[in-house]
Amino acid sequence: MNKIALFEHPLKSTPLVPLSGQYGDNRIWIKRDDLIPFSFGGNKARKAAEFYRTIMESDADLVMTYGSNCSNHCRVIANLAFAMGLHCHIISPDSKEEDSYNRLITEQFGATVETCPVAEVSATIDAAMETFRAKGNRPFFIMGGGHGIEGTRAYEKVYEEICLQQLEYGTNFDLIFHASGTGSTQAGLTVGHLKYLAAGKTGPKVIGISIAREGKRGREVIREGIKEYLAADYERFYRDQELIFTDRYRLGGYGNYNEEVEQIIGKVMSREGIPMDTTYVGKAFCGMQNYLREKKITGKNILFIHTGGTPLYFDHLKGLS
């Protein structure tokens, strides 16, 4: 396997950027995880840095994962696999949409994409794993979205990173918001917070804005992620009231957005020069604005984590023209 020099060292912190425009009555900062210096960045690049270590320690000769046509995760993993000198095989549910830039980039890395009806994704993964093993391959499987221990660990580290940056930037954050999808970003951040609390320290609360799942299922998956990660320490650290996940702004589910989302994306791009996509980051930023307004939260320092998805910004531009 080839080494990736960038991932041989812990990733450096990403910048915190204060917003200039008015976005309600709080001071809003954005943590630019979209600027992680690998494959257009984002939380999937953070997670990939952790998977890199696990794959390096394995005897894998192939990486397999799954994701939708517009998956950021598939782009990053295809890049990771190619750079490591491994083949990448991706299972993806059939889509009526034209190929996204993420898909085009994924294929540029030589990843093979196998599509199937959405209800058959799991069976197709099993069958593909079986076929590869029968051929003598040693596939390394990564769950969709980089869900799992590695994904959680990546964002536990980000929570610590944020707490250190508070000193560096001279700002204490009251709340951290982010787009919550498969749940490992939120599981990791929440673990970071829980450990802070257990150590008798105060740190910002974490609020996940669901961009897809309904509340009950979304919370369950995040809690399971925390449990799997903390293992024997789960009972000691876990406090249910610290898991804050709202499905109020999911707009009916994955990929849906409205005019309000488009408007805020336009405002943040033109005023701050920060691109946001409609599926994750723009939708969650818009949800955060509504959350703060509806809960009448004012005068707070808020940190919004920009979890990436830059190629999706360009897909949307294409759609507009």
Considering the complex, state which of residue 92 and residue 180 has its C-beta at the smaller distance from ligand PLP.
180
Query: Alpha-carbon distance 32 to 48, whole Å?
Result: 17
181 contacts ligand PLP (rule: CB under 6 A):
yes
| Range 18-56 burial, b when 16+ CB lie within 10 A, else e | ebeeebeebbbbbbbbbbbebbbbbbbbbbbbbbbeebe
Binding positions for ligand PLP, 245-284, rule CB under 6 A: 280-281
Q: Can you spell out the DSSP letters for 57-104? A: HS--SEEEEE--TT-HHHHHHHHHHHHHT-EEEEEEE--SSPPPHHHH
Query: Alpha-carbon distance 3 to 227, whole Å?
Result: 31
Single out the residue of 183, 203, 218, 282 in contact with ligand PLP (rule: CB under 6 A). 183
Number of residues that bind ligand PLP (CB under 6 A): 20
Considering the complex, state which of residue 204 and residue 282 has its C-beta at the smaller distance from ligand PLP.
282
Binding positions for ligand PLP, 136-175, rule CB under 6 A: 145, 151
To the nearest whole angstrom, how small is the minimum distance from the Cβ of residue 71 to ligand PLP? 8
Considering the complex, state which of residue 125 and residue 189 has its C-beta at the smaller distance from ligand PLP.
189
Tokens coding 13? 């912190």
Query: Which stretch, 86-94, 127-135, 178-186, 264-272, contacts ligand PLP (CB under 6 A)?
Result: 178-186
Query: Alpha-carbon distance 68 to 54, whole Å?
Result: 24
185 contacts ligand PLP (rule: CB under 6 A):
yes
**Which among 272, 273, 283 has a CA at the least distance from the CA of 307?**
283
Query: Alpha-carbon distance 101 to 216, whole Å?
Result: 32
Binding positions for ligand PLP, 34-53, rule CB under 6 A: 42-44
Sketch the per residue contact string, 290 through 319, with ligand PLP: x for CB under 6 A, - otherwise. Answer: -----------------xxx----------
72 contacts ligand PLP (rule: CB under 6 A):
yes
- Residue 257, C-beta contacts closer than 8 angstroms, at least 6 positions apart: 251, 278, 279, 282, 283
To the nearest whole angstrom, how small is the minimum distance from the Cβ of residue 74 to ligand PLP? 10
Single out the residue of 179, 226, 230, 303 in contact with ligand PLP (rule: CB under 6 A). 179
Which residues make up the interface to ligand PLP (CB under 6 A)? 42-44, 72-73, 145, 151, 179-186, 280-281, 307-309
